[in-house]
């Protein structure tokens, strides 16, 4: 976010070196900084970004998932969902969402349809991380007692 708090940018960094101002490259500029308002703790931020190689997908504190395309254009894909984890499958054009109620859902990554729940863990679980393969979606879930578990859910 810039010093005025009026614009944000997405940067790309090499995987072989620290991301400093000299090694990072600006990928998308001029973004609405409210899209990136996702809380004060670093783990929150890590799970709330995903990419399909062309677009960046962000879940924010406004209970929405937004797609930012390479031109910087922003489109709300999913509204009314406080996603705590997201993952995007560019092969199937699906976005997977997890929330703080243990729900795991999927939706088209172009925003053409609302999310459909594919599984629900306990209502007090926090879905912290999502990944997938051709058969399953994997969810790292934090339980209310402080323990965690990984679940495999059929796609």
Q: Tell me the pLDDT tens digit for each residue of 49-88.
A: 888 888 888 886 667 888 888 777 888 888 888 788 899 9
pLDDT at 31: 59
How far, in Å, CA of 75 to CA of 107, rounded? 14
Buried b (16+ CB within 10 A) or exposed e, 64-97: bbbbbeeebebeebbeebebbbbbbbeeeebbbb
Q: Tokens 């879905």 correspond to what residue? A: 127
Mean residue pLDDT across the chain = 78
**82-131: pLDDT as tens digits:** 788 899 998 999 999 998 888 999 999 999 999 999 998 877 788 888 99
- Strand blocks (E) in 48-135: 49-51, 56-60, 64-68, 74-79, 83-89, 94-99, 103-108, 116-120, 126-132
Phi, psi of 129 (to 5 degrees): -155, 145
Q: Give the pairing of strands 49-51 and 74-79.
A: unpaired
Query: Which residues, in sequence order, are CB contacts of 128 under 8 Å at separation 6+?
Result: 43, 47, 84, 85, 98, 140, 141, 142, 148
Whose tokens are 């051709």? That residue is 134
Per-residue pLDDT tens over the stretch 1-58: 556 655 566 666 666 767 766 666 666 665 556 555 545 443 444 447 888 888 888 8
> Would the CA dihedral through 99, 102, 107, 112 be positive or negative?
negative
Residues forming beta bridges with residue 141, ordered by sequence position: 127, 149
Nearest-angstrom CA–CA distance, 88 and 130: 9
Residue-level pLDDT at 113: 92
């Amino acid at each position: 976010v810039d010093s005025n708090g009026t614009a944000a940018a997405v940067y790309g960094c090499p995987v072989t070196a620290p991301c400093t101002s000299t090694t990072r490259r600006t990928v998308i500029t001029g973004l609405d900084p409210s899209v990136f308002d996702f809380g004060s703790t670093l783990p929150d931020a890590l799970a709330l970004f995903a990419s399909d190689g062309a677009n960046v997908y962000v879940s924010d504190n406004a209970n929405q998932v937004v797609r930012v395309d390479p031109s910087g254009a922003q489109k709300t894909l999913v509204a009314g969902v406080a996603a705590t984890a997201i993952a995007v499958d560019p092969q199937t054009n699906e976005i997977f969402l997890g929330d703080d109620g243990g729900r795991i859902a999927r939706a088209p990554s172009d925003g053409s349809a609302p999310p459909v729940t594919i599984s629900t863990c306990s209502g007090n679980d926090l879905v912290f991380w999502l990944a997938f393969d051709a058969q399953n979606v994997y969810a790292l879930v934090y339980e209310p007692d402080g323990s965690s578990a990984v679940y495999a859910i059929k796609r």
